[in-house]
Structure 1
């Protein structure tokens, strides 16, 4: 009787365990897959736009010229904006996938007077960190900045550039 009870328990356990099922038992099911391709993001610099720090005197001790993203200019330290100076923020447009968010990264730059031995001034830039494309897939943004003036830079026109990168979030 004891042997019969043990054999019965082994038989029940074997039938209840699918790992011990007969060879060749299998099942197949299809999985689902999806993919979404978005429109490429493109950045365009607005024709004629420039981050313009205006016209100013440097003084002996220097200072800064600040241009906001709205294009308003101000000077600090020994730097003075001259009457009639026109400051401006830089302008860009973006096209891409409607309603999608993107980040904006701007780099620092330098302006130079282009002389044989150039004199330079460094600047930092200021742009919103993130924007959203509208329902047509368009957006626009401005870049302001802060120009550092050491003091005593020679008169002349100074030009330069900086980098701007947009990336989908």
Structure 2
């Protein structure tokens, strides 16, 4: 009986010796995320009446409006496009202020809210680090009356941060 116990113990020790323990591989150090702007958010041409309203472009490029706004068929309409390069499996969170101020050519101001993401505002990188994860982002312009937001081009800086977690 003692010999049988020794044989069984030896058998289990051999099994343990052949199967080493492994752990998850550490990510490359440093973990790098690179973001490039490939396309700007553009709302196209529209007019605003006395009551004001909104113009939205979602992450698919669909333009909608509310209130006293007339969409015109000239001008480019597009969501913003960011190329995000990261290792597969990297969790990325998109953050930004609640709204941005845009200034017109005559000094008028309108508000822009970012509110539409093709990936959601948190996503996991699925591409090889040399291939971009395409992130489309849309938003909404909040417009006052035609006297408050007259004709012209409006522009401003939009600070969007892509945080690796």
Bin for the TM-score computed over the shorter chain: 0.7 to 0.9
Q: Alpha-carbon deviation of 1:162?
A: 1.0
- Superposition RMSD in Å: 1.9
**Structure 1 60/168 Cα, relative in aligned 2: closer, same or farther at 3 Å?**
same
1:75-132 deviation line (CA, Å, top 9, x unaligned): 11001101335321000011122222211113321221133xx101001002321122
Please tell me whether Structure 1 or Structure 2 has the larger radius of gyration of its CA atoms.
Answer: 1
Contact 1:58 1:149 in 2 (8 A): yes
Q: Does 1:106 align with 2:96?
A: yes
Distance change (3 Å), C-alpha of 1:135 and 1:145: closer
What TM-score do the two structures reach when normalised by structure 2? 0.72
Per the TM alignment, residue 35 of structure 1 is displaced from its structure 2 partner at its CA by 6.0
Corresponding residue of 2:126 = 134
1:49-88 to structure 2, matched below 5 A, reads: 49-88=39-78
Gaps of 5+ in 2: 1-24
Specify every segment of 5 or more residues in structure 1 that has no aligned partner in the other structure, as ranges.
1-33
List per-residue Cα deviations over 1:49-99 (Å, max 9, x = no partner).
211111111000100001101111011100110133532100001112222
Q: TM-score, normalised by structure 1?
A: 0.71
Q: Where in structure 1 do 4 or more consecutive aligned residues deviate above 6 Å? A: none
Q: 1:160: how far off?
A: 1.4
Aligned residues: 132
Q: Deviations over 1:28-51 (max 9, x none)?
A: xxxxxx9642431111111xx211
Question: Corresponding residue for 2:137?
Answer: 143
Q: Which structure has more strand as a fraction of its residues?
A: 2
Match of 1:160 in 2: 156
For the residue of structure 2 that corresponds to 1:79, the secondary structure is strand
